[in-house]
């Protein structure tokens, strides 16, 4: 591997962008589209399985297993600890296993963990099934983002935004599917058996589409340094992690993703249905449907924001997204049981809180070289999701402590986390500004 200068550590130079573009030029547009949609569908099924379980955790599963709000936080903490640490390793693994194979393995393991959830009867059985599912799900974000960023170097913002929005379809459809399936099945099988039965067909779909990944090759990455020996690959991986950790802009971007807690992870899907049903008395049907309303906003938000960020400063767009996310979170925290007002608020909340990840992922891809992307995305998702256990436990504790006002207090606190992210952003640079300056020099 060639040595890396300070300028290269700070941002991917035009020559490095050109290298990635040359690698993708040999891949047909048709094949790129196949890879894009294979990643999109697996990502959507990943989100659907996770949010299908999560949307039931605060309602029917909590009732079935007798779980408290704090225990929901513990479950989320256990799951995300495994998920975060596993995401850290993919930068080491990718040089030895093609990214499409890793996506396939992840989807298959996720399907097995989801299916296992149907058979649990206790807190620890549920925790074990969720850990197995988290093990499989952990591959999607770092591997999928790296794959798409290298296949589409010229329009990363738009492609990653599309991937985010397609995954939101899975999140959107999950509570609708759950509500409809429980309604249809509970009279014949009872509510406890109904939620267990509805899991199986989605797990089977994940198994099928995961298997499809094994029939394709990662042809872009195979053209960039994959001929090296295993020892050289390991050394290069270690060096990539080292360079990424020395990349000041990367650390700042990852911190921006990490400090905001309310709009990601399992915090909203776990606790919002609980709040709507138990605090506002709106019933299970609307409590579950509210998650779909958020996802409707989450579909449009990332696409619009990603498209804008490809044309103007990503940093400026991200700053605006954080401000609007904070305001939307505070409104959700204190709004009452007015259905119309809730629908509008949740749509806006979903649009803004789902857009941040798209922007930070595009900034990460802009900030590092092609060879560093695997390590960068692994570290990014590890650091980003590292805060989820904290928010899960804090939210559960606050909700148990403050009763009817617990959700409002917890989400008010989380709203301020977006303001903290804006403070961190004061030290961030838009990597594309540096690329333009070097290109003009």
Looking at residue 1, what is its pLDDT? 35
Give the pLDDT confidence of 356-409 residue by residue, as tens digits.
877 888 888 888 887 787 788 888 888 877 777 778 788 888 888 888 888 999
Does residue 389 belong to any structural domain of this protein? yes
Query: What is the average pLDDT score of the chain?
Result: 80
Pick the closest to residue 320 from 414, 422, 417 (CA basis): 422
Could you give the C-alpha distances from 404 to 192, 337, 411, in angstroms and in order? 27, 13, 13
Whether 5 has a pLDDT exceeding 50, the answer reads no
Could you give the C-alpha distances from 405 to 277, 286, 401, 410, 414, in angstroms and in order? 14, 20, 9, 9, 15
Looking at residue 367, what is its pLDDT? 84
3-state secondary structure of 344: helix
Looking at residue 337, what is its pLDDT? 86
Whether 107 has a pLDDT exceeding 50, the answer reads yes
Whether 77 has a pLDDT exceeding 70, the answer reads yes
Is this model's pTM higher than 0.75 or not?
no
Report the CATH number at residue 336.
1.20.1250.20
What residue numbers bound the domain in which 422 lies? 7-440
Does residue 2 belong to any structural domain of this protein? no
Give the pLDDT confidence of 403-422 residue by residue, as tens digits.
888 899 989 998 998 899 88
Whether 143 has a pLDDT exceeding 80, the answer reads yes
Whether 347 has a pLDDT exceeding 80, the answer reads yes
Report the chain's C-alpha Rg in angstroms. 21
Pick the closest to residue 424 from 250, 309, 264, 253 (CA basis): 253
Q: Number of helices (H) and strands (E), helices first, in the chain? A: 22, 0
Does residue 238 belong to any structural domain of this protein? yes
- Is residue 283 left, alpha or beta, with left meaning phi > 0 and alpha meaning psi from -120 to 50? left
> How many CB atoms are located within 10 Å of the residue 96 CB?
12
**Considering its fold, how many domains does the chain have in total?**
1
Does residue 1 belong to any structural domain of this protein? no
Does residue 181 belong to any structural domain of this protein? yes
Alpha carbon distance 377, 383 (integer Å): 10
How sure is the predictor about 300, in pLDDT bands with cuts at 50, 70 and 90? confident
Does residue 113 belong to any structural domain of this protein? yes
Angle at alpha carbon of residue 90, lines to 86 and 91, rounded to 5° = 135
Q: What percent of the chain has pLDDT over 90?
A: 16
Whether 198 has a pLDDT exceeding 60, the answer reads yes
Does residue 273 belong to any structural domain of this protein? yes
Does residue 336 belong to any structural domain of this protein? yes
């Amino acid at each position: 591997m060639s040595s890396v200068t300070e300028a290269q550590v700070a941002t991917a130079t035009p020559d490095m962008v050109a290298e990635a573009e040359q690698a993708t030029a040999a891949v047909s547009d048709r094949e790129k589209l196949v890879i894009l949609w294979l990643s999109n569908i697996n990502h959507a099924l990943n989100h659907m399985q996770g949010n299908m379980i999560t949307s039931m955790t605060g309602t029917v599963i909590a009732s079935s297993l007798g779980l408290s709000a704090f225990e929901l936080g513990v479950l989320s903490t256990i799951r995300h600890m495994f998920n975060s640490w596993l995401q850290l390793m993919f930068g080491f693994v990718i040089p030895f296993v093609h990214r499409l194979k890793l996506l396939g393995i992840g989807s298959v393991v996720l399907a097995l963990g989801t299916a296992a959830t149907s058979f649990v009867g206790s807190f620890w059985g549920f925790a074990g099934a969720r850990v197995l599912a988290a093990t499989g799900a952990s591959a999607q974000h770092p591997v999928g983002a790296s794959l798409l960023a290298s296949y589409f170097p010229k329009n990363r913002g738009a492609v990653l935004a599309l991937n985010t929005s397609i995954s939101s379809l899975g999140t959107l459809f999950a509570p609708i599917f759950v509500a409809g399936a429980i309604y249809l099945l509970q009279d014949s099988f009872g509510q406890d058996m109904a939620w267990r039965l509805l899991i199986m067909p989605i797990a089977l779909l994940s198994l099928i589409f995961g298997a499809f990944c094994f029939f394709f090759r990662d042809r872009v990455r195979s053209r960039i340094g994959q001929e090296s020996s295993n020892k050289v690959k390991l050394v290069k991986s270690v060096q990539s992690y080292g360079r990424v950790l020395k990349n000041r802009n990367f650390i700042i971007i990852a911190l921006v993703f990490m400090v905001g807690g309310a709009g990601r992870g399992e915090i909203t899907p776990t606790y919002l249905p609980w709040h709507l049903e138990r605090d506002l008395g709106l019933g299970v049907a609307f409590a579950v449907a509210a998650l779909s309303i958020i996802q409707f906003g989450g579909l449009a938000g990332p696409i619009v924001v990603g498209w804008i960020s490809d044309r103007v400063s990503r940093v400026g767009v991200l700053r605006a997204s954080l401000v609007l996310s904070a305001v939307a979170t505070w409104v959700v925290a204190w709004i009452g049981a007015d259905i119309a007002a809730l629908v509008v608020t949740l749509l806006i909340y979903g649009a803004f809180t789902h857009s941040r990840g798209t922007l930070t992922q595009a900034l990460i891809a802009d900030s590092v070289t092609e060879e560093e992307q695997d390590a960068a995305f692994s570290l990014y998702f590890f650091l980003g999701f590292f805060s989820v256990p904290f928010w899960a436990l804090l939210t559960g504790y606050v909700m148990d402590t403050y009763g009817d006002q617990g959700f409002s207090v917890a989400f008010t606190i989380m709203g301020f986390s977006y303001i903290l992210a804006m403070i961190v952003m004061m030290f961030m640079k838009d990597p594309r500004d540096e690329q333009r300056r070097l290109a003009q020099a």
